[in-house]
C-alpha cells in the first residue's frame, strides 16, 4: 500500500489543532466526542481534522447536525451534505430539527439568538443521550477576534472581552479557536474537501459581516497585521483577570452576606463601602443576581448608586432597581429585597376632575380636564 | 453696565468642565495653575475657559508655551499668538525654547516623543519655579478615545487601556478630558476666539491621523455612535482594575520578598507558583523592575517562563532575561540577579580561520572565511 505524502498545509493545520487541544486539555483518551457540523467550512474542517486525528487521540466521534427549519431547500441540502460526508468517513450521524422561528417568538429573541439556543440545547441533549463527554464546535481565531472587537466597541469589561472560551463547563470544546479562517479553507482545499456556503449569512448578520469583511481587513492593513492574534491574546488576558476578580468577589460576598432567607440579601454597609470599587461593584452584582435571578438591565451605574447609598450612612434611604428590587439602608445593613408584585389596592388616589393627581409610586402624574363632546380628539392609534 | 447673555454652547461647555474638575478633585481654591498653551484649539479653549472660571474657582493662572524649534516661522507665529492672547486676557505668560531635534538624537527618540518629553520637563520646571501647584493640559475626550483604541489595537492590558489619566501625580490635570473636540471648537467660535492650526500634524502623526479622521468616524457610523464616550468608560474601568491588581500585587510582593540586598531579589518559589497568574505575573514584573531598573523589553512571556521555572522545582535551573538579568531556582527560592557587566575575560573563545565559533553566552555564532582582496565586498553602510 502506498501512502500519499501529507501536504504541508494539512500538517501545519493539524499540528496547530493538536497544540490547542493539549494547551487547554480539551480531550482525554477514551472520550466520545459529539462534533457539531453545519456543513460550513469551519465545522467541516473540524470533523475532518478530528476524524484524521481520532486514532492518535484515542477518541471516537459522532457528528450532529441541526436543521433550523429556516432556509428551505438550502437547509435540506446542508443536512444531506453532512450526512453523506459522515457516511464516507464512517462517522455516526445524528440529525435534529428545530422550529427556530417559533422559538424566537416564544422566547422573544432574534432569529440568530434563537438558532444558537436551539443548537446548544440539541447538542447538549444529544451528547447526554449518547454518552458523549465532549461537544466540539468549530469556532476559529477569526470568530474570536470578531467577538472581542464587537464587545470592545460596545464597551464591555473583562467578562465581555474574555470572548469565546476554549473550553466551557468541561463539555464544550473549540479545537479550531487558534486557527485563522484562511488556514481552515486551505486545509479543506488541500484535502479536496468541499463545504457549503450559507447564503443567508449576509442578511442575518449585517454588523458581524461588516466587521469581518471591512473592519478587520482595514485594521490589519493600517494598524496591526496580526490583529487576529492580538485580539485572541486580549481575550486570554481578560479571561485571566475576570477569573481572578470573580473569585475574590465571590469569596468576599460569601464572607459579608448575612442570613439565608431567599429573596433577601443583607450586607454590612460600611465594609461594603470600604471595598475597592473593582471588587465592591462585583460583590453588589452577585447580591443583585441572587435577589433578582438575573442581571439583565443592571448597569455599572446601579452598582455605583448602591455604593453611594452605603457610603451615605442615612438609615431608611432606599434605591429602586429595575426588576422590582429595592435596596434599603437599615441600621448599617444594605438590604436587597424583591418587591411583592403590585397587587390591586396596594395604593389608591383620588383624581379630581378637573385636576391633577401625582402617583409617586409609579413616577407619573394624571391630569383631568372637562372637554365638550365635539372637541374630543381622535385617540392616537397605539395598536401598532 | 450691560452684561451680554452667555451663549448656550459656552454654558454647556463650561458646566461640563466644572463637572470634570469636581469629579476628579482637580483644583482647590488658592491654587496657582500653570496652563500649557500651544495655541491649538484645545489648549486655547482650556486657557479661555479656566480664565472665565478663575474667580469662581478661586484660582490664579499662568500660561506657558514651549517653542520646539521645529517649524520655523509657523512656530514663531504660534508663540506670538499665545503671547497676545495672554496680554489681552491679562494672564502672565512664560515662553520656553527647546531643541527637540537634538534631544531626539541624544535620547534616541522619535521627534514626537522627544517633543513631549521636552514639553513636560519645561512645564514641571516652570511650575516648580513659579510655585504653581497644578499644571493644566488640554487633552480632550477624543484624545482619550484615540489613545484607548490605539492601545487596544496593539494588545495592551489594563495598564495601557487606562488611557490618559485625568490627574497625574496630583500635579498634572486635564480639565477637558470629558469634552469632545467638536464642543471645544464650537466653544471657541461662540466666543469669537480664533486658534492656530498645526500644519505638521499630518506628517508627524500619520497613524494617529488615520485613527482620527477615518477609523473613529467609521466606528461611530457603523458600530457605536457614542464610541468616544464608550472608550472613555473603558479607560475608567481599566484604571480601576489596574489600580486594584496593582495594589494586591505590590502587597503580595512586599510580603514575599526576602532580603534587602540591592540588585538581588529573592522570592519563595512555591508560594509564587501558587499565586493566581493575574497576580503572579505582576509580582514577577515588580521583582524584575527592582533588579533591572525598568521593564523595557520584558513581555508576558518572560514572566510565564519564570512561573514555569518556579513550578519545575529543579534547583539550579536558570533563565536569562533581557538586560543582563538571570533568574535562578536555588533551594526553593527564585533568585533574580543582575549579571556583573561583561568585563573582559568573562569568557573567551578561539575563532578558527576558516571556521565557526558559537558564543552561547551572547546567543550568536561567528564564522570566518578567507577571501581574496579583490573580492572583498563594500561594507554595507550602517551609518544611517
- Give the chain B residue whose CA is nearest to the CA of A229: B155
Question: Residue A384's pLDDT is what?
Answer: 42
Distance between CA atoms of A157 and B329, rounded to whole angstroms?
Answer: 37
Contact yes or no for B241 and A278 at CB 8 A: yes
Nine-digit cell string for A169 = 463547563
Tell me, yes or no, if A301 comes closer than 8 A to chain B by beta carbon: no
CB A337 within 8 A of CB A346: no
φ, ψ dihedrals at A8, nearest 5°: -55, -45
* Highest mean pLDDT, choosing among A113-117, A353-357, B171-175, B346-350: B171-175
Task: Indicate the range of A87-101, B130-144, B208-222, B348-362 predicted with least confidence.
Answer: B348-362
Q: How confident is the model at residue B348 (pLDDT cuts 50, 70, 90)?
A: low
**Percentage of the residues of chain B whose pLDDT score is greater than 90:** 61
CA atoms within 13 A on the CB side of B170: 3
Question: Residue B200's pLDDT is what?
Answer: 63
Distance between CA atoms of B99 and A334, rounded to whole angstroms?
Answer: 60
Distance between CA atoms of A61 and A67, rounded to whole angstroms?
Answer: 20
**Percentage of the residues of chain B whose pLDDT score is greater than 70:** 90
From first to last of its 384 residues, chain A has per-residue pLDDT tens of 567 788 999 999 999 999 999 999 999 999 999 999 999 999 999 999 999 999 999 999 999 999 987 778 888 999 999 999 999 999 999 999 999 899 889 988 888 889 999 999 999 999 999 999 999 999 999 999 999 999 999 999 899 999 999 999 999 999 999 999 999 999 999 999 999 987 665 554 678 889 999 999 999 999 999 999 999 999 999 999 999 999 999 999 999 998 777 788 999 999 998 999 999 999 999 999 988 888 888 888 888 888 888 888 777 888 888 888 899 998 889 999 887 655 444 456 677 788 877 665 555 677 888 877 766 555 444 444
CA A136, A141, A142, A144 dihedral sign is positive
CATH code of A8-140+163-201, in short, is 3.40.50.620
Question: Residue A377's pLDDT is what?
Answer: 56
How do residues B45-102 score in pLDDT, each as one tens digit?
999 999 999 999 999 999 999 998 777 888 899 999 999 999 999 999 999 999 989 9
Query: CATH 3.40.50.620: which residues of chain B?
Result: 8-235
Q: Is the pLDDT of residue B205 over 60?
A: yes
Distance between CA atoms of B237 and A303, rounded to whole angstroms?
Answer: 13
Those residues with Cβ within 8 angstroms of residue A157's Cβ, 6 or more apart along the chain or in another chain: A242, B234, B237, B241
CA atoms within 13 A on the CB side of B293: 4
Tell me, yes or no, if B224 comes closer than 8 A to chain A by beta carbon: yes
Distance between CA atoms of B149 and A153, rounded to whole angstroms?
Answer: 9
Contact yes or no for A240 and B277 at CB 8 A: yes
What separation, in Å, do the N-terminal and C-terminal C-alpha atoms of chain B show?
66
CB A210 within 8 A of CB B222: yes
Q: Where is pLDDT greater, at B15 or A361?
A: B15
Query: CATH 3.40.50.620: which residues of chain A?
Result: 8-140+163-201
Tell me, yes or no, if B240 comes closer than 8 A to chain A by beta carbon: yes
CA B104, B107, B113, B116 dihedral sign is negative
Contact yes or no for B153 and A227 at CB 8 A: yes
Q: How confident is the model at residue B384 (pLDDT cuts 50, 70, 90)?
A: very low
- Give the chain B residue whose CA is nearest to the CA of A241: B278
Q: Residue B145 to residues A373, B153, B154: CA-CA distances in angstroms?
A: 58, 12, 14
How do residues B240-296 score in pLDDT, each as one tens digit?
999 999 999 999 999 999 877 778 899 999 999 899 999 999 999 999 998 888 888
- Give the chain B residue whose CA is nearest to the CA of A210: B222
CATH superfamily for B8-235 is HUPs (3.40.50.620)
Question: Residue A304's pLDDT is what?
Answer: 85
- Set of chain B residues whose Cβ sits within 8 Å of the Cβ of A206: none
Tell me, yes or no, if A80 comes closer than 8 A to chain B by beta carbon: no
- Set of chain A residues whose Cβ sits within 8 Å of the Cβ of B239: none
- Set of chain B residues whose Cβ sits within 8 Å of the Cβ of A249: none
Cβ count within 10 A of residue B270: 12
- Set of chain A residues whose Cβ sits within 8 Å of the Cβ of B215: 218-219, 222-223
- Set of chain B residues whose Cβ sits within 8 Å of the Cβ of A247: 276
Tell me, yes or no, if A222 comes closer than 8 A to chain B by beta carbon: yes
Q: How confident is the model at residue B361 (pLDDT cuts 50, 70, 90)?
A: low
Residue by residue, DSSP assigns B244-276 as HHHHHHHHHHHHH-B---TTEEEEEHHHHHHS-
Query: CATH 3.30.465.60: which residues of chain B?
Result: 257-338
Distance between CA atoms of B342 and B346, rounded to whole angstroms?
Answer: 6
Nearest-neighbour CA in chain A from B234: distance (Å): 6
CATH architecture of residue range(s) B257-338: 2-Layer Sandwich (3.30)
| Assigned CATH topology for domain A258-338 | 3.30.465
Length of chain B: 384
Distance between CA atoms of B78 and B71, rounded to whole angstroms?
Answer: 10
Assembly ipTM:
0.81
Query: CATH 3.30.465.60: which residues of chain A?
Result: 258-338
Q: How confident is the model at residue B371 (pLDDT cuts 50, 70, 90)?
A: confident
Strands B333-338 and B325-330: antiparallel
Distance between CA atoms of B321 and B363, rounded to whole angstroms?
Answer: 12
Nearest-neighbour CA in chain A from B210: distance (Å): 8
φ, ψ dihedrals at A253, nearest 5°: -60, -45
Distance between CA atoms of B270 and B267, rounded to whole angstroms?
Answer: 9
Q: Residue B149 to residues B162, B203, B211, B263: CA-CA distances in angstroms?
A: 11, 20, 8, 37
Residue B368 CB-density burial (10 A; 0-12 exposed, 13-18 middle, 19+ buried): exposed
- Give the chain B residue whose CA is nearest to the CA of A275: B244
* Residue of B325, B367, B74 lying closest to B197 (CA atoms): B74
Amino acid at each position: 500500500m502506498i501512502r500519499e505524502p501529507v501536504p504541508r498545509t494539512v500538517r501545519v493545520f493539524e499540528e496547530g489543532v493538536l497544540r490547542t487541544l493539549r494547551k487547554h486539555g480539551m480531550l482525554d483518551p477514551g472520550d466520545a466526542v459529539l462534533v457539531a457540523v453545519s456543513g460550513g467550512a469551519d465545522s467541516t474542517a473540524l470533523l475532518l481534522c478530528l476524524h484524521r486525528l481520532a486514532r492518535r487521540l484515542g477518541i471516537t466521534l459522532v457528528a450532529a447536525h441541526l436543521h433550523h427549519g429556516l432556509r428551505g431547500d438550502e437547509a435540506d441540502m446542508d443536512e444531506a451534505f453532512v450526512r453523506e460526508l459522515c457516511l464516507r468517513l464512517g462517522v455516526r450521524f445524528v440529525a435534529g430539527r428545530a422550529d427556530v422561528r417559533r422559538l424566537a417568538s416564544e422566547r422573544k429573541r432574534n432569529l440568530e439568538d434563537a438558532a444558537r439556543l436551539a443548537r446548544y440545547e440539541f447538542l447538549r441533549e444529544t451528547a447526554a443521550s449518547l454518552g458523549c463527554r465532549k461537544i466540539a464546535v468549530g469556532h476559529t481565531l477569526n470568530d474570536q477576534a470578531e467577538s472581542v472587537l464587537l464587545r470592545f466597541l460596545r464597551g464591555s469589561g473583562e467578562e465581555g472581552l474574555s470572548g469565546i472560551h476554549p473550553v466551557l463547563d468541561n463539555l464544550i470544546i473549540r479545537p479550531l479557536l487558534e486557527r485563522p479562517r484562511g488556514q481552515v479553507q486551505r486545509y479543506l482545499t488541500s484535502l479536496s474537501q468541499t463545504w457549503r456556503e450559507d447564503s443567508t449569512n449576509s442578511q442575518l448578520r449585517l454588523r458581524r459581516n461588516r466587521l469581518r469583511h471591512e473592519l478587520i481587513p482595514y485594521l490589519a492593513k493600517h494598524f496591526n497585521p496580526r490583529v487576529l492574534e492580538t485580539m485572541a491574546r486580549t481575550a486570554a488576558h481578560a479571561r485571566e483577570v475576570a477569573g481572578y476578580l470573580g473569585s475574590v468577589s465571590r469569596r468576599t460576598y460569601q464572607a459579608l452576606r448575612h442570613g439565608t432567607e431567599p429573596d433577601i440579601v443583607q450586607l454590612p454597609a460600611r465594609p461594603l463601602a470600604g471595598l475597592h470599587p473593582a471588587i465592591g461593584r462585583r460583590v453588589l452584582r452577585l447580591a443583585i443576581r441572587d435577589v433578582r435571578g438575573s442581571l439583565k438591565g443592571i448597569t455599572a451605574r446601579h452598582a455605583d448608586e448602591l455604593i453611594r447609598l452605603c457610603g451615605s450612612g442615612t438609615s431608611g434611604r432606599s434605591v429602586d432597581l429595575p426588576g422590582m428590587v429595592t435596596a434599603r439602608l437599615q441600621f448599617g445593613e444594605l438590604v436587597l429585597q424583591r418587591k411583592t408584585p403590585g397587587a390591586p389596592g396596594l395604593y389608591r388616589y383620588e383624581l379630581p376632575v378637573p385636576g391633577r393627581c401625582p402617583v409617586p409610586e409609579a413616577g407619573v402624574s394624571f391630569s383631568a380636564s372637562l372637554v365638550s363632546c365635539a372637541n374630543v380628539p381622535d385617540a392616537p392609534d397605539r395598536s401598532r
